Structure 1
Amino acid sequence: MCLIPGYIIYLLTFLIVSEVTQPDDGAAMSLTAALRGFFIVLLSVSVVQSQNGWGVTYTSTQICAVKGSSVEIHCTYTYPPRINNEIIEVQKRLWFTKLQQDVPVDLKTDPNYDARVEYHFFQNNSTLRITDLRESDSAQYKFRFETNSRSGRYTGTPGVTLLVTDAPIRLSVSVTLSGEIVEGSSVTLTCSSDANPAASYTWYKQNDQKPLSKDSQLIFSSIQSSDAGEYYCIAVNDLGTKRTGHNIIIVNCE
């Protein structure tokens, strides 16, 4: 879950353990993740899922990120130096989200990620970087490496789940009138946004902290002179909050 109080993103990580893909025996798994350019809180968890030298290590298994930003996912992988006196060498490393005929589809060959994916390798560490994030990038990402040994192919599961969403940053307010605003007339203020996940709305009157409506609409069915003043709407979703400017209502006396 991502929270953006005051437009700061807090990255919360969760441990999700499901099935384990192993070569012949098992290995230890790990993965670290970071969201560049934002304040991140990582709850690191060490996950040991296999033995005998094979593995990918994850310390985060879920990331929330905002559309248009960039994200980096890191992992460390291990393998035995020899199998049956054969020196083991890594020949292929890749990240993927889907299979094609049971074969992992390298993100670098996926047209949905064209020019937005970078791999960085250093010793037994791998980093996946995705730029210009889209909501369609929400998926489960896994690292796989293959060696010169027939039994030396390993996929780290369950991988890391990336959720790309929008904060409620584009708000608009419309006013519906039954005519000139005079005492007894009907006035409706409507707050809307294109937030994803969907936002909830609350209406307030300036200098009054008591909510007037916990709906997208603030309805005055028979407005009175005491209702004259400045009103604003606050939209909230899992990614943060946004407040509209003030909407001034002037009630004319007949």
Structure 2
Amino acid sequence: MNLRTAARGFVAFLLSVPALQGNDDWAFTYPSRNICALRGSTVEIRCNYKYPYATIVEKILWFTNKHNEPVDLRDDTDYTGRVEYSCFRHSCTWSSCTGTCKLIIEDLRQSDSAEYKFRITANNGGALSDLPGVKLSVTDHRVEVIILPRPTSQNWLELECHRMCNLTGYRTYSNWYRNEIQQRHQGYSYWFNINSEYRVSCAATGFEHLPSPSVYAPETPLVGWTPPGVIKEGSSVNLTCTSEANPVAKYTWTKVTTGHPPGHSVQGQQLSFHPIQSSHSGQYLCKAENDLGTKTSSPFSIDVKYGPKHTSVIPSPPGEIKEDGSVTLSCSSDAS
């Protein structure tokens, strides 16, 4: 593989910030402390350096924190055929010389995630920066849709396409999709009407084949119960509400009384009765809600079965019973 040819994929170029060694005769300027690059792409890490004029540079190398002793990446079998140094001297004064050395790693792998440092070996003993090096994180390209805080009294939300890996030197717009169909709209944000039925996703330009997961309001919740079958008084019963949504929905239960507004609300995906009583019979509603909207289930009826109770005998007609008269005795009991 010829690393001097144009690098395949994305190349991350880094802005330099001062990172000087304590000795004034030697100085190193490293890139930013943390960088992120995509698996399979190429990264370029730069170090500007200064050394005394009389110094004879014998060797330069880049190494990682993977080994106990500095190992030249060109001799590290993990980087065979994928590493190149591009180093040159800028200028010299009566006291010092300056130069730049770039480390280029091609076809990045996740195992390349490490801390990288630059070293000079010279005739006077050499110089090694004692400062932290450049921490490289290699990852797959991932994006997600984040929901920005809702403006007051508005039915619209602003969605933003967020890259999980902040690629240095790489700026791009986002493509937006509604129900997996690309929209004409491009940009960093998208306005979503609350309770809309469609699903929204995004992808960075150049990475359309790697879209984010879709975000959407809850679908109509479904209610089930365990254990299945007849609900008997005194048993333990759990109602469970489920709704497909992203972000994950929050659930609220209310009992419906005919002719009255919904009663006390209970939070949670499950509504539990331990034990269930005959007074729990009735209709229940489950509401699923996230930042993008709200949906309510159809009424779910509970009919609690129980044995006879409050049994009594009622004579008719009431009052004193006379001999040769007629009387009817009725037996009454509450049961289901």
The TM-score, its normalising length taken from structure 1, stands at 0.49
Look at both structures and tell me which one has the larger radius of gyration over its CA atoms.
2
Q: Choose between structure 1 and 2 for higher RCO, CA contacts under 8 A separated by at least 6 residues.
A: 1
